Amino acid sequence: MDRNLVKTSNFLFQINWLESTFPSNTWGTVISHKAFSNHFTHHHLKTDGKFEAYARKYMEILNALKVGGSFIYTPGLSFN
């Protein structure tokens, strides 16, 4: 998944996190390297950010994991 992807395929999609859907109990692992958490943090820090939409999407991703599945992302999220 990449919002700026030039060439798509069966496994590469031009879409952003908030536009994508994550059906329940679908994925064993979801990996995001410097993507989801950076966008979430960016919107959390903005006064007019869409942080609530990212929080809902975070929960949707967790719900999309199969039992024992993992959402692996970096950097970590640390909201104080």
Instruction: Identify whether 79 is part of a domain.
Output: no
Q: By residue range, what is the domain housing residue 58?
A: 27-74
Instruction: Identify whether 15 is part of a domain.
Output: no
- Higher per-residue pLDDT: 5 or 69: 69
Instruction: Identify whether 34 is part of a domain.
Output: yes
Number of domains in the chain: 1
pLDDT in tens, 13-44: 899 999 999 999 999 999 998 999 999 999 99
What is the model's pLDDT at position 28? 98
Alpha-carbon distance of 48 to 32, in angstroms, equals 24
Instruction: Identify whether 31 is part of a domain.
Output: yes
pTM: 0.87
What lies within 8 Å, CB to CB, of 1 at 6+ separation is: 12, 13, 15, 16, 17, 20
Mean pLDDT of the chain: 93
Instruction: Identify whether 52 is part of a domain.
Output: yes
